[in-house]
Amino acid sequence: MQLTITNLTKTYGNGVRALNDVSLTMNAGLFGLLGPNGAGKSSLMRTIATLQEADAGSITFSGPFGDIDVFAQPDALRQRLGYLPQEFGVYPRIAAETLLDHLAVLKGITNGKERKETVSALLHKTNLYNVRSKNLGGYSGGMKQRFGIAQALLANPSLIIVDEPTAGLDPGERNRFLNLLGELGEDRIIILSTHIVEDVQELCRDMAIVNKGTVLFQGHPDAALATVAGRVWRKRVTKAELADLKQNATVISERMSAGDPVVHVLADSQPDDGFRAIEPTLEDVYFMNILGLQKQPS
C-alpha cells in the first residue's frame, strides 16, 4: 500500500502559495507530517482528502484494490478514506452511540445487524463503550478526539488522515490517543499531521518536515537525527548573555529552566568551554530545518 504525491502545488486566491512542488511517498504505517502552524500541513491534508483541488501535480493511492488517481477518481479515494480534521464538531445533545450509528448509515453501512456490530466494535476499540449513551457535549476533549477516530474508522478505511489530533489534550488523554493510533497503524496508512514533535518521535517510522509549503526533509526519524549528530551543544546562560550569544552562534532553540535560558547551539565544534555536547532530539532537527540550517549527513 502506498500514497504517492508528486509535484503538488496550491496557491489560494489571496496569493498565498500553500503548497510548493510537494513530493512525498508514504507506505503502510504511521507517517508523521511535522511543521509549524501555517506550514501548509492542513492544505496538504485537505488536498489528499479531495476537499480542495491542486493547481498542479498528482496523487496516486495504490494497494490491493489497484491504483487510484485521486484527482480523477475522488469517489474511489473517499470510499477508502477516514478523516479527522483539525476542527471536528459534534452534536452536543446526541449520544455517541446514536451519532456513530447515523454516520455509519451515511458511510453506506445499511444492514442493521452489521451496523450495530460495527458501532459496538468501534466504541470498544476507542474505549468509549461504557459512555456510549452519554451526550457528546459532556465528553472531554480527549474523548471527543477518540470519537473522531471512531467515525474515521467506519467502513474500515485503508487511508486515515488525522490533523493536529493532540493539540489541547492533557497528558493522559494525549497518551491514550497516541496509543490508539499506534494500534491502528499496522495494516493501513495513517498520516499524522502535527506541530508537536513528540507525537511524531513516539509513533512514526517515517516522517517529513514541511514549512512554507515546502518539504524540507523526508525519512526515518533516525536519519533525521543523523543530520545533527555530534553538532548540538547545550548551555545554561544568563539573560544578558543570551543576546550576545545569538549574535555569535547558531542558536536553534532556547527555553527557560529555573529562571534562566537554556540554549541549544548548532556547531561543528565546541563553541566555548561552557557548552557540553548532547544527544540531539527530533526537536533539534525540527528547529534546524525550520531555521533553514539543513545539512545532510556525509
State pLDDT tens for residues 85-116: 877 777 889 999 999 999 999 888 989 999 99
Domain annotation covers residue 70: yes
Q: Judge if 272 and 128 occupy the same domain.
A: no
Q: Judge if 136 and 46 occupy the same domain.
A: yes
Pairing state between β 29-34 and 206-211: parallel
Domain boundary (218, 238, 253) is at 218
- With bands split at pLDDT 50, 70 and 90, how would you rate the model's confidence at 60? very high
212: nearest Cα among 15, 25, 41: 41
Q: Judge if 120 and 32 occupy the same domain.
A: yes
142: nearest Cα among 171, 114, 112: 171
> 161 has which bridge partners?
83, 191
State pLDDT tens for residues 182-215: 888 778 999 999 888 888 888 899 999 999 999 9
Q: Judge if 237 and 134 occupy the same domain.
A: no
Contacts 24+ apart (CB under 8 A), 20-23: 20/212, 20/213, 20/214, 21/57, 21/214, 22/57, 22/210, 22/213, 22/214, 22/215, 23/215
199: nearest Cα among 86, 37, 33: 33
Domain annotation covers residue 44: yes
Domain annotation covers residue 160: yes
Pairing state between β 189-194 and 159-163: parallel
pLDDT at 173: 81
Q: Judge if 109 and 176 occupy the same domain.
A: yes
Q: How far is CA 256 from CA 124, 234, 239, in A?
A: 42, 13, 10
Q: Judge if 87 and 187 occupy the same domain.
A: yes
End-to-end Cα separation, the chain, in angstroms? 31
- With bands split at pLDDT 50, 70 and 90, how would you rate the model's confidence at 238? confident
What angle in degrees, to the nearest 10, is found between the helix axes of 112-125 and 96-106?
A: 130
Domain annotation covers residue 18: yes
Domain annotation covers residue 286: no
Three cell numbers at 263? 540554549
CATH code assigned at 165: 3.40.50.300
The percent of residues above 90 in pLDDT, for the chain, comes to 49
158: nearest Cα among 68, 44, 23: 68
Domain annotation covers residue 285: no
Q: Judge if 238 and 105 occupy the same domain.
A: no
> 69 has which bridge partners?
60
> 11 has which bridge partners?
17
pLDDT at 294: 58
Q: Judge if 271 and 158 occupy the same domain.
A: no
Q: Which domain holds residue 253?
A: 230-279
- H helical segments located in 227-266: 239-248
Cβ 288 vs Cβ 266: under 8 Å: yes
Residues 6+ apart with CB under 8 A from 43: 10, 18, 19, 52, 213
Cβ 57 vs Cβ 9: under 8 Å: yes
pTM of the model: 0.85
Domain boundary (166, 190, 218) is at 218
Q: How many independent structural domains does the chain possess?
A: 2
Phi then psi for 285, rounded to 5 degrees?
-60, -45
- With bands split at pLDDT 50, 70 and 90, how would you rate the model's confidence at 9? very high
Domain annotation covers residue 292: no
Angstrom distance (rounded) from CA 61 to CA 25: 10
Q: Judge if 138 and 272 occupy the same domain.
A: no
Angstrom distance (rounded) from CA 46 to CA 157: 17
Q: Judge if 180 and 137 occupy the same domain.
A: yes
Phi then psi for 23, rounded to 5 degrees?
-130, 125
Q: Judge if 181 and 239 occupy the same domain.
A: no
Domain boundary (218, 248, 268) is at 218
Q: Judge if 253 and 190 occupy the same domain.
A: no
Domain annotation covers residue 224: no
Work out the number of other CB atoms within 10 angstroms of the CB of residue 266.
21
